[in-house]
Amino acid sequence: MIVAINMSTTNVQQTFTIQNQSITSMTPYLTTATAAVAQQTAVSVSGNQFTYTLLG
């Protein structure tokens, strides 16, 4: 599980590195003031890394 919080008012593209696991995708969940734990579209993982936009 990865928990990422963007405290900014602007979007941030963040790269994450997965260690000691061999995976091909991650499924993000978004929690906001209007969306409580909303499943998002799966993100591809390549070379143990993926980039995701954290909304501001």
DSSP structure class, residue 48: T
Looking at residue 33, its pLDDT comes to 84
Give pLDDT tens digits along the chain (56 positions). 999 999 999 999 999 999 999 999 999 999 888 878 999 999 999 999 999 999 98
Domain borders along the chain are 12-54
Task: Specify the amino acid at residue 44.
Answer: S
pTM: 0.83
